[in-house]
Amino acid sequence: MIVEFGHFALVLGFVVALVQGVVPLVGAQRGNAGLMAVAPAASLAQFLAVGTAFAALTYAYVVSDFSVLNVVNNSHTAKPLLYKITGVWGNHEGSLLLWVLILAVFGLALALFGNNLPPALRARALAIQALVAFGFLGFLLFTSNPFARTMPPPVNGQGLNPILQDPGLAFHPPFLYLGYVGFSMAFSFAVAALIEGRVDAAWARWVRPWTLAAWIFLTLGIGLGAWWAYYELGWGGWWFWDPVENASLLPWLAGTALLHSAIVVEKRDALKSWTILLAIITFALSLLGTFLVRSGVLTSVHAFASDPTRGVFILGLLAIVLGVSFALYAWRAPHLKGGGLFRPVSREGSLLLNNALMAAATGTVLLGTLFPLIVEVLGMGKVSVGPPYYNYTFGILMIPLVLAMAVGPMLAWKRGRLGRALARLVPAALAAGVAAGWGILRSDTAGSAVVAAIGMGLAAWLVVGTLVELLERSGFYRHGPATALRRLPGMPRAAWGMTLAHLGLGIAIAGMVGSSLWKVESVQVMAAGDSQTVAGYTFAFHGAREVKGPNYTAVQGSFTVKGPDGATITTLDPSKRSYEVRSMPTTEAAIHTTWVGDLYAVVGDPAKKREGFVTRLYYNPLVPWIWIGSVVMVLGGLVSLSDRRHRVGVPARARTARRQTDGEGA
């Protein structure tokens, strides 16, 4: 009964979305306040409808209602409650329902907190949001109904893929979707602005917090995914340039560019049509990701199993949503006139440079991801584009970008002085030199020495350069440390946000480069009593025993790790689980984190030829910096979001009054 209720609610949401997508648009066109007022009410109704559907499916999972096909295919009574709930989105239908729910949540948020927006803009943005929802609800209802029944119900379900029974992966999709779908706000605002034919500083100020929120979620989602891969796949890798990973990176890159270009629109009333285009492209890339994962058009480790009708439906949806938006863009954007002027050497100039490089980087990842498909469609055979390609091309594009990242914030608005900025950055250059030298000494092949010198040098340049900018901003150089200390806490949150985000990226770069270059690995058979030394750390193996989990059994190994000085550092208990229902094993690496690296142990199968187990021991240097850097970036986003000029509900007048006196960046 509850299941049918959920299905009905979904149909209701579908109808409401259509109303919300049409009526307010008409109202805004005619200046009819009554019709426009449908939008917020409909947003609430749509949220309630989709929310009810989601709750109904969750209920079916929690009570293990095996008359629902989706529950049969992805759940089991023996599963812990947490994974019964997260199993709701561990499959195509449920995750799509979550996607639509998040879309409704963002729509509702806009309806609730958008009171200070011009009514027509709000009505149009909500209508666009609803039209996207309409398409996806149709996709759900017509090709991927999560409420389909099965008769007769089986005694038990087939269980959730054990790989998904993990906290990292359980919460990776919701964050990812919050990011993807969050960019729909920028998209809706962009399309609404194109309909109105007007983009101004106020528009940019409304779009930025939504984009920032989506960016924060997407950063978290990508970070969680990488972290999960790191500890679960059992060999210390965290990024593989897999098509589906790229699909999440693409909107992140475009969204990052959008965050920066929106600043120029806000400050200088320039780069308007470019910013609108970026807003559309960012969401387009989110949709592309969804399409790639669900259509089976690309093969990837992460893809959902797919059937062709779904692929066709979602391709049609993609073509309509984006085709209309880009056509509208081609029609209206030429008439958007930018006002403010600035010199190439200025804050705006550096933001523009950032955008050019980010766009090239986004295009590169897109090209690499789609190239095999394009070559095949053109009948030129099959090629693979693997990590080496991205490491060369994307890596090289990142060099000027990171170099400019330290300089840009040092430049004044409108016209800056490059010489003065560079003179201030001497400490950063020195730090980069030292870090590069350290990187070379740490490496043992010429190839890795070059990469290490560049990577570590850039990381140090960015971190120290960002700190120099903080000092400069605080008045340290002009008024001394006392003034600086007094001023720092009072600096705009958005400025702190930029500082943190840039610092985080610097830290993460060091982690990414170090962990890829200097990983030490040792694979061997070990019996109880054996020891193995890896990168100076001695792993003593004490054997393995069987342990029992809620719905799995595991072989758990035990190691004691001693440092180079012989002192015991930690014990590591990696295990290999075997899930009863799907009889699939998963590895659970045991990791001991220090500030400069991870001690990482995995226990594998019993050895065939002699007594003992296959064990894999790693020293993964600087990996923690990737996670620390990502968290710092997210913190930066949050701090910036809390800036009172972004805070929703602040009267528009107060913001306009403050506009002229701002002196900070992202």
Partner 1 sequence: MRRILYLLPLIILAGLVVAFALRLGDPDKETLPSQLIDRKVPQFALDPLPGRGRALSSGDLKGQVSLLNIFGSWCRSCVAEHPMLKRIQREYDIPLHGIDWKDDPEAGKAWLARHGDPYDRIGLDPDSRVAIDLGVTGAPETFIVGPDGRIRYKHTGPITPKVWKDTMLPLIRKLRRTS
Partner 2 sequence: MRLTAALVVAGALLAAPAAAVQPSEKLDDPGLEQRAQEVGEKLRCVVCQNQAIANSNADLAADMRKIVRERIKAGATNEEVIQYMQSRYGDYVLLNPPVKPKTYALWGGPAVLALIALGAVLVYYRQRRTRDAEDAPLSAEEAARADRLLAEDDDAAADDDRRGEAT
Stretch that binds partner 1, among 90-98, 368-376, 548-556, 640-648 (CB under 8 A): 368-376
Q: Which of 27, 107, 135, 243: binder of partner 2 (CB under 8 A)?
A: 243
3-state class percentages of the chain: helix first, strand second, coil last, to nearest 5: 65, 10, 25
Does residue 521 sit in helix, strand or coil? strand
Distance CA 647, CA 6 (A): 35
- Judging by DSSP bridges, how do beta strands 590-593 and 585-588 pair with one another? unpaired
Distance CA 27, CA 21 (A): 11
Residues that bind partner 1 (rule: CB under 8 A) add up to a total of 31
Q: How buried is residue 247: exposed, middle or buried, by Cβ count under 10 Å (0-12/13-18/19+)?
A: buried
User: Residue 387, interface with partner 2 (CB under 8 A)?
Assistant: yes
User: Residue 388, interface with partner 2 (CB under 8 A)?
Assistant: yes
What DSSP element (H or E) covers 67? none
Residue 334 interacts with, from partner 2, partner 1, none (CB under 5-8 Å by kind): partner 1
- Could you tell me the two tokens for 447? 């190839």
- Could you tell me the two tokens for 25? 């648009």
Residue 266 interacts with, from partner 1, partner 2, none (CB under 5-8 Å by kind): none
Q: Which of residues 316-345 bind partner 1 (CB under 8 A)?
A: 318-319, 322-323, 326-327, 329-330, 333-334
User: Residue 170, interface with partner 2 (CB under 8 A)?
Assistant: no
What is the Cβ-side half-sphere exposure of residue 577, based on CA atoms within 13 angstroms?
Answer: 22
User: Residue 548, interface with partner 2 (CB under 8 A)?
Assistant: no
Stretch that binds partner 2, among 9-17, 177-185, 295-303, 564-572 (CB under 8 A): 295-303
- Judging by DSSP bridges, how do beta strands 575-579 and 585-588 pair with one another? antiparallel
User: Residue 154, interface with partner 1 (CB under 8 A)?
Assistant: no
Q: Which of 168, 311, 437, 585: binder of partner 2 (CB under 8 A)?
A: 585
Q: How far is the CB of 281 from partner 1 (least distance, A)?
A: 7
Distance CA 219, CA 229 (A): 15
Given a contact cutoff of 8 angstroms between Cβ atoms, the answer to whether 332 and 324 are in contact is no
Residues 98-137: x where in contact with partner 1 by CB under 8 A, - otherwise, as a string: ----------------------------------------
Of the candidates 389, 392, 359, 397, the one whose C-alpha atom is nearest the C-alpha of residue 372 is 389
Q: Which of residues 287-306 bind partner 1 (CB under 8 A)?
A: 291, 295-297, 299
User: Residue 654, interface with partner 2 (CB under 8 A)?
Assistant: no
Does residue 618 sit in helix, strand or coil? strand
Q: Which of residues 66-95 bind partner 2 (CB under 8 A)?
A: none
Stretch that binds partner 2, among 2-10, 261-269, 410-418, 449-457 (CB under 8 A): 410-418
Residues 240-279: x where in contact with partner 1 by CB under 8 A, - otherwise, as a string: ---------------------------------x---x--
Looking at beta carbons only, is 311 or 437 nearer to partner 1? Answer: 311
Q: How many CB atoms lie within 10 A of CB 14?
A: 22
- 29-63 burial string, b = 16+ CB within 10 Å, else e? eeeeeebbebbbebbbbbbbbbbbbbbbbbebbee
Residue 301 interacts with, from partner 2, partner 1, none (CB under 5-8 Å by kind): partner 2
Sheet-wide strand order for 613-621: 520-526, 613-621, 597-606, 590-593
Q: Which of 67, 393, 553, 570: binder of partner 2 (CB under 8 A)?
A: 393
Q: Which of residues 31-60 bind partner 2 (CB under 8 A)?
A: none
User: Residue 368, interface with partner 2 (CB under 8 A)?
Assistant: yes
Q: Which of 187, 291, 413, 625: binder of partner 2 (CB under 8 A)?
A: 413
Residue 147 interacts with, from partner 2, partner 1, none (CB under 5-8 Å by kind): none
Q: How buried is residue 535: exposed, middle or buried, by Cβ count under 10 Å (0-12/13-18/19+)?
A: middle
β-bridge mates for residue 544, sequence order: 557
Residues 588-617: x where in contact with partner 2 by CB under 8 A, - otherwise, as a string: --------------x-x--xxx----x-x-
Residues 473-502: x where in contact with partner 2 by CB under 8 A, - otherwise, as a string: --x--x-------xx--xxx----------
Residue 168 interacts with, from partner 1, partner 2, none (CB under 5-8 Å by kind): none
Residues that bind partner 2 (rule: CB under 8 A) add up to a total of 76
Given a contact cutoff of 8 angstroms between Cβ atoms, the answer to whether 504 and 629 are in contact is yes
What DSSP element (H or E) covers 518? none
Which residues are near partner 1 by CB under 8 A?
273, 277, 280-281, 284, 291, 295-297, 299, 308, 311-312, 315, 318-319, 322-323, 326-327, 329-330, 333-334, 370, 373-374, 376-377, 381-382
